[in-house]
Each structure stands twice: as structure tokens, then as C-alpha cells.
Amino acid sequence: MNIDALFEQALAAGQIGSMAIPDSWGQGRTAFGGLTAALAYRVLRTQVEQDRMLRSLSVSFVAPIATDVPFSFESTCLRQGKNVTQAQASIIQEGQVGVTLLASFGVARESRTGVNNTETPDVLMPEQPQFLPFIPQVTPQFFQHVDLVLCSGSFPFTGAKTAHHGGFMRFSEPPAEMTDAHVIALIDSWPPTLLQQLSKPAPASTLAWNLEFLHPHRPVLPQDWFAYQADTRQAGEGYGHTEASIWDAHGELIAISRQTVTVFA
């Protein structure tokens, strides 16, 4: 089942009931976190006026969302002001909150302030790209739905000294169109930067995630590659703090990601 079909199910579930995520979109004992956040956002987006662009998204992964087990959505508009809307959505599975997110939307306004971003990615698509492979029973199940090309840093569980990585990403099966919901899922598809420092597999997951969208940005094609670069700012005591930048196919910065990651090793 591709991501567009899951979004359609989420829209129906947001109105009349529940849905379940197939195991092919799992990662260990839970569903792929980026997908669960994107599904909750997709439901929430229907409650906000379309001229209000997503500016900031804060996600807490409260509990694992089991695959092939039904869950439902709860969403509400907290406040709609003249320029900004604040809204909240949660995924509820077996009576427990699994994922909750707070989204901030804002209209474009005339302003005397302005800064043009000039930062560009340091990575280039290689002639012979190294894909993060999908290996059944080894890598996350959802890897079969995304193409991740590693250009800097190291592969997970290679005992590397580095704690950064960069490369390119896209869906293996292009969606009908590329929306913010698709981008949310795609950004979270990269493994935590700290996993490359481990010499053998160990559990790790995102605890909290903040994502900022930059506007305006131009439309992109569903099959386009997005550039991604992530750095670890600090890590210790089983937690890591990472920052990432995301560029579209035009070389324009479109999002800034910050994550708190738990590592059980």
C-alpha cells in the first residue's frame, strides 16, 4: 500500500472511524514515525483554511503504534486568529495516545523584514549512488517505500566515529503530488545519526520532533530528489540532539528539522 492510499484511509478514518497501518510501513515494534505524524497532520490539515501555510510542527511520539492494529484520530483547532491558526491532532490506539502533534499555520503578510537563505547542500548526487538497502528482517520494513542515497557520514551499525550524514531522498513509488504531508513522512525516513557509531544493531527512536517549513517555495515533481543533511549537536546518557536541513530539487531550503532521539545502547 503506497502513501497516497494511506492518506486516503486517514481522511476517511478522521470522519467515520479507524484505520490500521500495514506491517510493510513498520520499523521494529512500531509503525514508521514519520508516517504516523504525516497521517495525523493530513487529517488536521482539513480543518485549517488552505491559505494558511504550515509554519511549524511539533511532534511527540508518546507510545509505539502497532502495525495491523486499528487506531483513530482526534483533532481540534485550538485557536484561529486573524493571521495564525494553532491546531492539535493525536493518534489513539487501544485507548492510549501514541502520537500527538501541535501545528502552527500562518497566512503570508507584507513585512519590512526579510532574509534570503543562501545556504546550499554540501552533497552532490554521485554517479553510482549508495542506497540504504531494504533487507528483510534487518532494516526497517518501511525502507521498501523510500529511496535514500547516502553521500556523507556512514551506514548504521558500522562503528564509525562520525555522527552526521547527508544525502538524497524520495519515495520509491512517486505520489500523485508532493504535499507537506508527504515531505513530513520523507524527512523522518533517515536513521538517527548516532546509529553509525554503534558496531551492532540496537533500538533507537525519536522522542520529540520539531519541523519548521520555510515559505515561499516552488512546486516540485513527485519523482524529484530532496537533499538532506543532519548533524548531531550533542549526545549522551542515551539521548541525542540533531538538527537537519532539507532542500528541494531547485536547491532551495524548504525545512529545518530538530529531533531528540533515544538510543538504547
Question: Cα–Cα distance between 175 and 197 in angstroms, integer?
Answer: 34
- The answer to whether position 68 is within a domain reads yes
CA distances from 201 to 36, 51, 198, 218, 228 (A): 23, 44, 7, 39, 23
Rounded average pLDDT over 166-181: 97
15 pLDDT more than 80: no
- The answer to whether position 88 is within a domain reads yes
Question: Cα–Cα distance between 40 and 36 in angstroms, integer?
Answer: 6
Judged by phi (left if over 0) then psi (alpha if -120 to 50, else beta), residue 183 lies in alpha
Phi, psi of 149 (to 5 degrees): -105, 115
Cell of 125: 548526487
Task: Note the pLDDT of residue 17.
Answer: 86
One-letter amino acid identity for 110? E
Q: Domain range for residue 235?
A: 3-107+123-263
Phi, psi of 243 (to 5 degrees): -130, 140
Task: Note the pLDDT of residue 52.
Answer: 96
Cell of 156: 548504521
Task: Note the pLDDT of residue 68.
Answer: 97
Q: With contact defined as beta carbons under 8 Å apart, do 239 and 195 qualify?
A: no
Per DSSP (E only), the strands in the chain are 18-19, 26-27, 30-31, 53-61, 71-80, 84-93, 96-106, 130-131, 146-153, 164-171, 204-213, 226-236, 239-247, 253-263
CA distances from 198 to 96, 134, 244 (A): 32, 19, 21
Q: Is 66 helix (H, G, I), strand (E, B) or coil?
A: coil
The CA-based dihedral angle spanning residues 61, 64, 69, 70, taken in that order and rounded to the nearest 10 degrees: -20
- The answer to whether position 210 is within a domain reads yes
Q: With contact defined as beta carbons under 8 Å apart, do 28 and 203 qualify?
A: yes
> What percent of the chain is modeled with pLDDT above 90?
85
- The answer to whether position 184 is within a domain reads yes
DSSP string for 125-148: --SS-EE----TTTS-GGGGGEEE
Rounded average pLDDT over 31-40: 97
- The answer to whether position 116 is within a domain reads no
One-letter amino acid identity for 264? F
46 pLDDT more than 80: yes
Task: Note the pLDDT of residue 227.
Answer: 98
Q: How many domains is the chain built from?
A: 1
- The answer to whether position 118 is within a domain reads no
What Rg, from alpha-carbon coordinates, does the chain have?
18
Task: Note the pLDDT of residue 38.
Answer: 98
Q: How confident is the model at residue 176 (pLDDT cuts 50, 70, 90)?
A: very high
Rounded average pLDDT over 92-105: 97
- For the ranges 40-49, 115-124, 199-208, 225-234, which has the lowest average pLDDT? 115-124
Q: With contact defined as beta carbons under 8 Å apart, do 172 and 190 qualify?
A: no
Question: Cα–Cα distance between 247 and 74 in angstroms, integer?
Answer: 31
CA 39 to mean position of chain CA atoms: 11
Rounded average pLDDT over 146-165: 95
- The answer to whether position 176 is within a domain reads yes
Q: What is the CATH number of the domain that holds 38?
A: 2.40.160.210
* Residue 68 burial class via C-beta count within 10 angstroms: exposed 0-12, middle 13-18, buried 19 and up: exposed
Task: Note the pLDDT of residue 216.
Answer: 86
- The answer to whether position 75 is within a domain reads yes
Q: How confident is the model at residue 16 (pLDDT cuts 50, 70, 90)?
A: confident
Rounded average pLDDT over 222-235: 97
For the stretch 114-152, pLDDT in tens is 888 888 998 889 999 989 999 988 899 999 999 999 999
Q: How confident is the model at residue 26 (pLDDT cuts 50, 70, 90)?
A: very high
